[in-house]
Structure 1
Amino acid sequence: MPAAVKLRTDYSAGALRRLATETKDAKQSRRLLSLAAVLDGMSREDAARIGGMDRQTLRDWVHRFNEQGLDGLTNSWNGGAKGRLSAEQKVELAKIVEDGPDRAVDGVVRWRRVDLQRVIKERFDVDYCDRYVGTLLQELGFSHISARPRHPMQDARIVEAYKKNFPRTLKAHLADLPKGKPIEIWWQDEARIGQKNGIVRQWARRGTRPRQPADKRYESAYLFGAICPARGAGAALVLPYADTWAMQQHLDEISRHVKRGAHAVLLLDRAGWHTTDKLKVPRNISPIFLPSRSPELNPVENVWQFMRQNWLSNRVFDTYNDIIDAACQAWRKLIAQPDTITSIGMRQWAHIGQSK
């Protein structure tokens, strides 16, 4: 048996116990208590048992304590193996993912892990398995999500200019209002709710393919909806058609929901029944039209998505009245959640300076 290693004596047993109570490292605390027991004359076997270790392990910690002091009683961590991609290469990979594939060069219209596995090998000469590519993408801040549609003729510069210049646009539309008039920002849109309904994602066990009912009939109605995110309020009608008459009914409904004494700015797209001069716009509403081909500017689009995912999809409507009832119930559930309306609907660029 090897001889016991002599323990340094610049710390007393009491000092080691005091340090054991002060440290936030539980493992270091147990090792300090074992060493304190050694200084008190306890056998090495019993002292090792106090720290939950064997005699050889205690001997190793004595060596480290003698050489490094208190720091020697903590677990050292070297940070693991060095990554095979440098920081610069990871930045380049992130840009490749964000830019998306070139169909003519890469042969695909979206990146899969196996495609990026090939790109990493060709570009950086690093061979990863496709599963680790997914881990690497998460590390770089990416997740596998559904893309939103974008009109192919959309001009991103027009969209950004619209947001940037909105305060001036708002001021111009409200120039004739009395000073100090409270202003509300409202958003309006329509959604078709019908028997040819959507199916959305759901949680299910791996390896299974859950099934949901899907109707192939075409009966439908239109949900005209408008929200005021600042108030968490809304106004809606379920109507059989999307036309000028229906839009007039919705304008009148919105007018009734504007706070008394306030004036509503109504942002909406350029559908024909929105822009026609046959509409009689209520006096407490000023419509402002969004740029063409820019549905992402309108948060009501996100409201429709929220309602479909939570209350309207994965269902079959037997009759037209069932469609009406489902749309009304979904809207009432939304109105009962004003914080949700605010969370979905607030757009910082549009809600600057709501008071004239």
Structure 2
Amino acid sequence: MAGAIGMREDYTGPDLRRLARRCSDADQVRRLLSLAAIVDGGSRSDAARVGGVTLQIVRDWVLRFNAEGPDGLISRKAPGKVPILNDEQRRALAEIVEAGPIPASHGVVRWRLIDLAQWIRDEFGLSITKQTLSREMRALGYRKLSARPRHQGQRPEDIAAFKKNFPTRLAQIRKNLSPGTPIELWRQDEARIGQQTKLTRRWAKRGTRPSAPKDQRRASAWIFGAICPAEGKGAGIVLPRCNSEAMSLHLEEIAFHVAPGAHAVLILDQAGWHGSAELVVPANITLMPLPPRCPELNPVENVWQFMRDNWLSNRIFKSYDDIVDHCCFAWNKLVDQPWKIMSIGLRPWAHGF
């Protein structure tokens, strides 16, 4: 039979009860009150009755209390099963995911869980199920996301340079304005919405392939959209074609939504109609072109994806007028959600200085 264990003497019974009154952990309160009964001269059996446990558990509480004080009585999560991957192996997994597969070496052009499980087996000699690997991937912050196209001629250094020089360019624009003139940052782009809508992902039973309507006709309209993420506002029009005249009409619409007395810096790509000599730019707008082939710098691209995924896909448009009606509905619905514009459009490099 194990010998009796003495308790540390730097806490009195009233001290332990005072701590119990301030605790939010019900189990810790029960343990503190049990040990307070012992400190006040009660037996271990009395403490077991207070805590509603056995003598052995009271003994374990005493050991924890002696080693760590009241913090040793806090409820702890069970350690659970030892994970298959250690921290070093997780870092290697993250690196191979970021680098992507080499088709000639790995035999695939994109990673699937089964491919990563095979890589872990080959690299570390460990067997891991797809379900366990999925949890590991999510814990590392990875999700299966749809990739967006990237122009093969894009130069990453152009993106870095634009972000780095953006505050300086903004300061130069500010010098040409009247002192104290507030500046609004706007982003602009166009999206073609037609009868041949994209098919989005949807929930369905495993092993099945859901169907969705797909029109073969080609009528379409263009949404000219601009957002001011910092203010959560937008300005858009729907037109039948893209040209300098249409762009001038959109600039006029943006100018109307700029706050009185403010000046808008409109960031946009280098489409031909954005730099045309026929373009009419309102006095309260300054155009700032993006580097070529860098749509990642324009959050309106993400706005189009959001609108297509939620409001403008998986449907049949009966006519051109029907397309226009749905485009107007979708854009007005977005403008009615300023928090959504802020969530999609704010960028630290543009709004964090």
TM-score range normalised by the length of the shorter chain: 0.7 to 0.9
Deviation of 1:313 (Å): 1.6
Deviations 1:267-315 (A, max 9, x none): 1111111121121222222111101111111111111112122221222
The answer on whether the counterparts of 1:20 and 1:33 sit within 8 Å (CA) in structure 2 is no
* Matches of 2:236 and 2:143, distance apart in 1: 35
Larger relative contact order, structure 1 or 2 (CA cutoff 8 Å, min sep 6): 1
* Unpaired runs of at least 5, structure 2: none
Deviation of 1:140 (Å): 2.0
* Unpaired runs of at least 5, structure 1: none
| Structure 1 position 148 matched with structure 2 position 144 | no
Indicate how the Cα distance of structure 1 residues 251 and 5 shifts in structure 2: closer, same or farther if over 3 A, else same: same
Deviation of 1:32 (Å): 7.2
Deviates more, 1:15-24 or 1:124-133: 15-24
Letter in 1 for 2:267: L
In structure 1, what is the equivalent of residue 199 of structure 2? 199
Letter in 2 for 1:223: I
| Structure 1 position 276 matched with structure 2 position 272 | no
CA RMSD of aligned residues (A): 3.5
Indicate how the Cα distance of structure 1 residues 229 and 139 shifts in structure 2: closer, same or farther if over 3 A, else same: closer
Indicate how the Cα distance of structure 1 residues 82 and 182 shifts in structure 2: closer, same or farther if over 3 A, else same: same
Deviation of 1:78 (Å): 7.2
The answer on whether the counterparts of 1:262 and 1:284 sit within 8 Å (CA) in structure 2 is yes
Deviation of 1:260 (Å): 2.2
* Matches of 1:76 and 1:229, distance apart in 2: 44
| Structure 1 position 329 matched with structure 2 position 329 | yes
In structure 2, what is the equivalent of residue 121 of structure 1? 121
In structure 2, what is the equivalent of residue 60 of structure 1? 56
Letter in 1 for 2:141: G
Matches within 5 A, 1:223-238: 223-238=223-238
Percent of aligned pairs with the same residue? 49
Secondary structure of the corresponding residue to residue 169 of structure 2? helix
Deviations 1:210-231 (A, max 9, x none): 4332222211100111112222
In structure 1, what is the equivalent of residue 212 of structure 2? 212
Secondary structure of the corresponding residue to residue 293 of structure 2? coil
In structure 2, what is the equivalent of residue 107 of structure 1? 107
The answer on whether the counterparts of 1:64 and 1:73 sit within 8 Å (CA) in structure 2 is no
Indicate how the Cα distance of structure 1 residues 32 and 207 shifts in structure 2: closer, same or farther if over 3 A, else same: farther
Indicate how the Cα distance of structure 1 residues 205 and 32 shifts in structure 2: closer, same or farther if over 3 A, else same: farther
* Matches of 2:267 and 2:234, distance apart in 1: 14
In structure 1, what is the equivalent of residue 314 of structure 2? 314
Letter in 1 for 2:57: W
Deviation of 1:197 (Å): 0.9
In structure 1, what is the equivalent of residue 350 of structure 2? 350
Indicate how the Cα distance of structure 1 residues 238 and 7 shifts in structure 2: closer, same or farther if over 3 A, else same: same
* Matches of 1:76 and 1:264, distance apart in 2: 55
In structure 1, what is the equivalent of residue 176 of structure 2? 176
Deviation of 1:239 (Å): 0.5
* Matches of 1:183 and 1:77, distance apart in 2: 52
Indicate how the Cα distance of structure 1 residues 30 and 208 shifts in structure 2: closer, same or farther if over 3 A, else same: farther
In structure 1, what is the equivalent of residue 338 of structure 2? 338
The answer on whether the counterparts of 1:19 and 1:29 sit within 8 Å (CA) in structure 2 is no
* Matches of 2:349 and 2:5, distance apart in 1: 68
Deviates more, 1:335-344 or 1:18-27: 18-27
* Matches of 1:174 and 1:95, distance apart in 2: 43
The answer on whether the counterparts of 2:221 and 2:238 sit within 8 Å (CA) in structure 1 is yes
Letter in 2 for 1:282: P
Matches within 5 A, 1:56-95: 58-64=54-60, 79-95=79-95
In structure 2, what is the equivalent of residue 253 of structure 1? 253
* Matches of 2:275 and 2:253, distance apart in 1: 18
Deviation of 1:321 (Å): 0.8
TM (norm. structure 2) is 0.82
In structure 1, what is the equivalent of residue 286 of structure 2? 286
Deviation of 1:15 (Å): 7.3
Deviation of 1:349 (Å): 2.4
Deviation of 1:318 (Å): 0.8
* Matches of 1:351 and 1:65, distance apart in 2: 53
Indicate how the Cα distance of structure 1 residues 19 and 166 shifts in structure 2: closer, same or farther if over 3 A, else same: closer
Letter in 2 for 1:275: G
Deviation of 1:76 (Å): 7.5
TM (norm. structure 1) is 0.82
The answer on whether the counterparts of 2:17 and 2:33 sit within 8 Å (CA) in structure 1 is no
Deviations 1:99-152 (A, max 9, x none): 111112111111111111111112122222232221221222222222222211
* Matches of 1:345 and 1:77, distance apart in 2: 40
Deviates more, 1:215-224 or 1:75-84: 75-84
* Matches of 2:170 and 2:60, distance apart in 1: 71
Secondary structure of the corresponding residue to residue 199 of structure 2? coil
Deviations 1:192-237 (A, max 9, x none): 1111112223345555544332222211100111112222222111
Q: How many residues align?
A: 345
Letter in 2 for 1:60: Q
* Matches of 1:182 and 1:73, distance apart in 2: 57
Secondary structure of the corresponding residue to residue 292 of structure 1? coil
Indicate how the Cα distance of structure 1 residues 50 and 297 shifts in structure 2: closer, same or farther if over 3 A, else same: same
Deviation of 1:179 (Å): 2.7
